Amino acid sequence: MNEYTTTRHNELVDPSLHIWGWEIPVYLFVGGLVAGMMIITGYFLFKGKYKDSACVCRVLPLLGMIILSAGMLALFFDLDHKLYTWRLYTTFKFASPMSWGAWILIVVYPVMIASFLINVPEYFSKKYPWMNKISLKLGEHKYAIKNIGVINMLLGGLLGIYTGVLLSALGARPLWNSSMLWLLFLVSGLSAASAFVHMVAKRADERELLAKADNGFLILEMFVIALFIIGMVTSTKVHNESALVLLSGIYAPVFWVFVVGLGIVIPLIMQLLAVNHKIKHTPIAPIMVIVGGLILRFVIVYAGQYTHWADAAF
């Protein structure tokens, strides 16, 4: 029988950590989504698909910038000492994933602008003719465009990976303490991006490709989640308890119903049937995937704050 009392009652910390609310899961999801969008954009650029005016890679860079900016705004809302945000850009801290992320986010914009300028949408080319000039110049250098494609894929990958490393470097919260987290967030981001791009793409073959890609990512995601859980369950006592929080504890209903069921399994089944032409494509499955991805971030961020090393001592 053990009784443990503490007189500490610090806001955000007691009785259990609750420092990050909706802002961080939203930002992490947006980061993963944009990362996936960049990888898809990069792939299409690399494969030369940009030459078709209906290619979805024409609209993705601009969409990506808008969505990412919204995510960064959420991130900014979370900061408690906003006037000093500029300090992030006075240094680079090698051991801090957050420092990595701050710089990656900055570097991502020029790349997306460059991708945007390869294929300026009509609306902008009419309003700002100088954009057309750059577009034409770029069009002359196929290898430059190929490289921009590769950079998109690499940077997108880094962006997606870093959102997972950000949490997994915080060893004090056992649930995050997994070397699978970067992969989980990357795959989830790719899956959500595929679902999103499938919905905005105009060409039927692109839509088909993305649906198939999404299925692949969803299957991979299931394996990654399983490995993530297995890693927890075969580790220390606190890690076991963390896994149980998701599997049978207070976050279990959300995890099983929304993340696994409605976020992965059901849309996967629907999309498999659709790509095999058994049923028609609808936005339902992609929307479920996107919402499922968002809820995955919420569950991981909230449940992670709930898990703690101190549990081991008692």
Partner 1 sequence: MARFGMVIDTKKCVGCMDCVVACKTENDVPDRFNRDWIVQDVRGKNPDLQMEIRSERCNHCDKPPCVYCCPTGASHLHDLGGVVLVTHDMCIGCKACLAACPYDARFIHPDGYADKCTFCIHRIEKGLDPACVSVCPAHCMNFGDLDDPNSRVSKLLNSRKNHSIMPEAGTSPRIFYLV
Partner 2 sequence: MNPLSRRKFLKISGATIAAAAAIGTVSKALDKSDSKRKGIEKIPTFCDICFWKCGAIAYVRDGKLWKIEGNPIDPLSKGRLCPRGTGGVGAHYDPDRLRAPLIRTEERGKEMWKEVTWDEALGYIADKMQKIKSQYGPESMAAFSHGLGGNFLKHTLKAYGAINFAAPSFAQCRGPRDVGFRLTFGEDVSSPERTDIRNAQCLVLIGSHLGENMHNSQVQEFSEAVGNGASIIVVDPRFSVAAGKAKFYLPIKPGTDLALLLAWMNVIVSENLYDKEYVEKYGFGFEQFRSELSSCTPEWAYTETGIEPELIRATAREMARYKPATLIHPGRHVNWYGDDAQRSRAIALLNALMGSWGRKGGFYYPVSMDVPGYPYPAYPAPLKDKVDNPNKKYPFAHEAITTGIREATLTGNPYPVKGWLVYATNLIQALPNEKITRQAIQNLDLLVVVDVIPSEIAGWADVVLPESVYLERYDDINVEWFRDSFVALRQPVVESPHDQKPNWWIAKKLAEKLGLGNYFPWKDIEEYIKHRMTAAGLSFDELKKNGIIPGAKQPNYFDEGVPAEFPTPSGKIEFYSVQLQQAGFDPVPKYKRPAPGPAGSFRLLYGRAPVHSFSRTQSNRILSDMMSENELWLNADVAGRLGLKSGDYIQLKNQDGIVSNKVKVKSTERIRHDCVYMVHGFGHTAKGLKHAFQKGASDSQLLTRFETDPLMGGTGMNVNFVTIETEG
**Contacting residues toward partner 2, per CB under 8 A:** 1, 3, 7
Task: Give yes or no for a contact between 138 and 10, defined as CB atoms under 8 angstroms apart.
Answer: no
Binding positions for partner 1, rule: CB under 8 A: 1-14, 17, 19-20, 78-82, 84-85, 87-88, 90-91, 93, 95-99, 101-102, 169-173, 236, 305, 308-310, 312-313
d(C-alpha 307, C-alpha 16), whole Å: 8
Closest approach of partner 2 to the CB of residue 310, in Å: 17
Closest approach of partner 2 to the CB of residue 7, in Å: 7
253 φ/ψ angles, rounded to the nearest 5 degrees:
-55, -45
State the sign of the Cα–Cα–Cα–Cα dihedral 23, 26, 188, 242. Answer: positive
d(C-alpha 41, C-alpha 46), whole Å: 8
Closest approach of partner 1 to the CB of residue 65, in Å: 23
Task: Give yes or no for a contact between 226 and 255, defined as CB atoms under 8 angstroms apart.
Answer: no
Closest approach of partner 1 to the CB of residue 92, in Å: 9
Identify which of residues 1 and 95 has a Cβ nearer to partner 2 in the complex: 1
Tokens of 66: 């808008």
Helix (H, G, I), strand (E, B) or coil at 182: helix
> What does 230 bind: partner 1, partner 2, none (CB cut-off 5 to 8 Å by kind)?
none
d(C-alpha 43, C-alpha 45), whole Å: 5
> What does 125 bind: partner 1, partner 2, none (CB cut-off 5 to 8 Å by kind)?
none
Identify which of residues 10 and 91 has a Cβ nearer to partner 2 in the complex: 10
Identify which of residues 57 and 88 has a Cβ nearer to partner 1 in the complex: 88
> What does 117 bind: partner 1, partner 2, none (CB cut-off 5 to 8 Å by kind)?
none
> What does 78 bind: partner 2, partner 1, none (CB cut-off 5 to 8 Å by kind)?
partner 1
> What does 276 bind: partner 1, partner 2, none (CB cut-off 5 to 8 Å by kind)?
none
Closest approach of partner 1 to the CB of residue 77, in Å: 11
> Which are the contacts of 306, defined by CB distance < 8 A and separation ≥ 6?
16, 17, 175, 245, 250, 251
Task: Give yes or no for a contact between 118 and 134, defined as CB atoms under 8 angstroms apart.
Answer: no
